[in-house]
Amino acid sequence: MAEHPGQAPDGGGGQAPDGGGGQESWRDSVSEATATDLENLLGTGVSAAQEQLQRNGGFLPFALTVQNDGEVRLVAVSPADAAEDSDAEFDADAMIRDLQALLRQNRDDFRAAAVVCDILLVEDDSDAIHVASEHRDGSLFAAVLPYSANAGTQTWEFGELGADASEPAIWVD
Residue among 18, 12, 8, 4 at smallest CA distance from 133: 12
**Per-residue model confidence as pLDDT tens digits over 90-132:** 788 989 999 999 999 999 999 999 999 999 998 888 899 999 9
Collapsing DSSP states into helix, strand and coil, what is residue 89? coil
The backbone torsions φ and ψ at residue 39, rounded to the nearest 5 degrees and listed phi first, read -65, -40
| 15-29 average pLDDT score | 52
Domain membership flag for residue 126: yes
* Confidence label for 21 from pLDDT (cuts 50, 70 and 90): very low
| 32-45 average pLDDT score | 95
Domain membership flag for residue 170: no
Report the alpha-carbon distance of residue 154 to residue 17 in Å, rounded.
Answer: 29
Report the alpha-carbon distance of residue 15 to residue 23 in Å, rounded.
Answer: 8
22 pLDDT higher than 50: no
pTM flag (> 0.75):
yes
Q: How far is CA 24 from CA 20, 36, 44, 93, 108, in A?
A: 9, 17, 24, 33, 32
Domain membership flag for residue 142: yes
Domain encompassing residue 28: 2-164
Count of structural domains, the chain = 1
Instruction: Give the per-residue pLDDT at 82.
Output: 59
66 pLDDT higher than 60: yes
Domain membership flag for residue 173: no
Domain membership flag for residue 82: yes
Partnered with residue 147 across adjacent β-strands are 127, 158
Report the alpha-carbon distance of residue 60 to residue 47 in Å, rounded.
Answer: 14
Domain membership flag for residue 136: yes
Instruction: Give the per-residue pLDDT at 173.
Output: 80
Domain membership flag for residue 98: yes
* Confidence label for 71 from pLDDT (cuts 50, 70 and 90): very high
Domain membership flag for residue 172: no
